[in-house]
């Protein structure tokens, strides 16, 4: 049983790492805003909550889409932290007008 768990953990790690690597290579935005190693570890932890059967049922394109959305959310959330107080005031005013 322990060996099966280890095999699955390796399978999960390789699958997530491959998708993250592909997405990072295709996006300079991710490269600038995110740490690839840190995001890979976070995503492995997140997706390890799925059972092996559930994870294997997720098609490659669907997994790529899900991971891409998570990476975008993480990158954009960090962008707001980079704003100066003046830029935040401008942003808040623009949001309030909508």
Q: What is the pLDDT of residue 94?
A: 84
Q: What is the pLDDT of residue 35?
A: 96
How many structural domains does the chain have? 1
In the predicted structure, residue 98 carries a pLDDT above the cut 70: no
Cβ atoms within 10 A of the Cβ of 46, count? Answer: 13
Write out pLDDT tens, residues 48-57.
999 999 999 9
Q: What is the pTM of this model?
A: 0.77
Question: What angle, rounded to 10 degrees, do the helices at 60-81 and 2-25 form?
Answer: 60
Are 63 and 19 a contacting pair, CB within 8 Å?
A: yes
Structural domain of 64: 2-97
Write out pLDDT tens, residues 30-66.
999 999 999 999 999 999 999 999 999 999 999 999 9
What is the distance between the alpha carbons of residues 3 and 91, in angstroms, rounded to a whole number?
52
């Amino acid at each position: 049983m322990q060996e099966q768990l280890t095999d699955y953990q390796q399978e999960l790690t390789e699958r997530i790492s491959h998708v993250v690597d592909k997405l990072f290579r295709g996006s300079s935005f991710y490269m600038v805003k995110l740490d690839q190693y840190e995001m890979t570890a976070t995503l492995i932890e997140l997706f390890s909550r799925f059972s092996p059967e559930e994870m294997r049922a997720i098609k490659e394109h669907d997994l790529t889409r899900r991971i891409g959305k998570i990476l975008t959310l993480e990158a954009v959330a960090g962008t707001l932290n980079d704003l100066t107080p003046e830029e935040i005031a401008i942003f808040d005013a623009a949001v309030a007008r909508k």
